Amino acid sequence: MPRKPPIDPVRWTPPPVGALPDFPPAELTIVPTPGDGPEDVVVDASGQLWTGLVDGRIVRVTPDGATTVVADTGGRPLGMHVARDGRVLICDSHRGLLALDPTTGTLTTLVESVNGRPDGRSSAGSVRRPLTFCSNVTETSDGTIYFTESTSRFHFEYYQGAIMEARGAGSLFRLAPDGTVTTLVEGLYFANGVTPTADESALVFAETQGRRLSKYWLSGPAAGTVTPLAEHLPGMPDNISTAPDGRIWVALVSPIIPAAERLAPLSPVLRKVLWRLPDALLPKIKPEVWVVAFDAESGAAVAGIRTQNPAFGTVTGVVETGGKLWMSTIAFPALANTQL
């Protein structure tokens, strides 16, 4: 295995742990993928689904589960979104923000680097830094693209390093139709999923380590500001999506990991020592199937499922389409769906 990059942790106090309603289990249909770790799942206008595998392949999935490999990014595809013009937007941890022509399989790079990104330690000034962990992407009806970077300090394969550091090195960006990239919010604790509200008055975005959902307002008197939507979550939110009825579906990749949360306020030296240990000895995610829908106005949890399945869990993406809820994962070679 390659040598791990060093970490530079700080003392950090995790947020309080709130509660969510007890949601029932669900019967899952497991849909095998031709490789591991389909991290996100999105749907196009024809009802076909798209996902990206750990080895870089981009896969189209029919509603009945047939799969076709369409392209290969050569990196690690993460969050995705189907744009208005039919292109599939792809966040790739090693290549930045990409666009895929679904007909030809051609990949185009939209954003490789951004001016002035912070690294969680000091101002980045005017330095242009490559995107390191492009995480999730969405688009509004005017053609503006919004995307997140979980951390500017590590690629996906070392995501645990970002958690161990506990630095706010994540950001939310805007890519305008003219190609201009603007940093909207920085200092985020593992920025992840992003989706517009149904009326496009705001973006909802998730912070996995911060265990919260927030709104970045696009219009109205609060435009350009951030307000909380759901805080103190008892699980770690990953990719998110807007349902046809306006609810915000959230994949909770894991309940809180008590060992990791106990370490955060302790001496940074301790976490430096632990980081040098083999991954098998680090705190682990407990696989389970957990997705929750939140009201986009009140932040109340209004629907969800929570269960365990030996063939699926550690849910990282979720999308509602055709009366089904589809889910993705970093831990299994499969997608899953359930009837709503």
Would you list the domain boundaries of the chain?
29-339
CATH 2.120.10.30 for domain 29-339, yes or no, is: yes
The answer, yes or no, to whether residue 118 has pLDDT greater than 90, is no
Across all residues in the chain, what is the average pLDDT?
94
Rounded-to-integer distance, Cα 293 and Cα 305, Å: 9
* CA atoms within 13 A of residue 95's CA, in its CB half-sphere: 21
Contact (Cβ atoms closer than 8 angstroms) between residue 25 and residue 323: no
Number of other residues whose CB lies within 10 A of the CB of residue 163: 25
Instruction: Kindly report the number of other CB atoms within 10 A of residue 2's CB atom.
Output: 6
Helix or strand (DSSP H, E) at 157: none
Least confident of 22-36, 63-77, 112-126, 190-204: 112-126
pLDDT in tens, 290-339: 999 999 999 999 999 999 999 999 999 999 999 999 999 999 999 999 99
**pLDDT digits 0-9 by tens, 184-211:** 999 999 999 999 999 999 999 999 999 9
Check if the beta carbon of residue 50 is closer than 8 Å to that of residue 42: yes
Instruction: Give the CA diameter of the chain.
Output: 53
User: pLDDT of 123-164, one tens digit each?
Assistant: 444 566 889 999 999 999 999 999 999 999 999 999 999 999
Measured CA to CA, the distance from residue 339 to residue 322 in angstroms comes to 9
Tell me the one-letter amino acid at 42. Answer: V
